[in-house]
Amino acid sequence: MRKPLMALAIVVLLMMTVVGGLLPFLQGWIFFVIALYLLASEFETGRDWVMRARRKWPALSRWIAGARNHRWAPRHLRHFDELTDPKLR
């Protein structure tokens, strides 16, 4: 039951990313980083996807680093950064 709920949460966060991009008072990028965090922490293939995406798009690594200290970010983003950092593997 946990995996389908996490998949639903990822979809909701991605929708919030789009809404955050349209509304100036929401920061859509933080929802995107949190969705990536859930994808990488809950699904093994998601971890590989995020690592490949970070290799291909360096801006994604900057977003993840910037999200560490954001007030809406989960406390475990530092672990997420270490888990998916392509430079550490």
Q: What is the 3-state secondary structure (H, E, C) of 45-85?
A: HHHHHHHHHHHHCHHHHHHHHHHCCCCCCCCCHHHHHHHHC
Query: Nearest CA to 47 among 17, 15, 86?
Result: 86
Confidence at 86, pLDDT banded by 50, 70, 90: confident
Rounded Cα distance, 25 and 42, in Å: 29
Query: pTM for the complete prediction?
Result: 0.74
31-37 mean pLDDT: 85
pLDDT at residue 89 in the model: 66
Tell me the two tokens of residue 87: 């430079």
Average pLDDT of the chain to the nearest whole number? 82
80: Cα separation from own chain's centroid = 8
48-65 mean pLDDT: 87
70: pLDDT strictly greater than 80: no
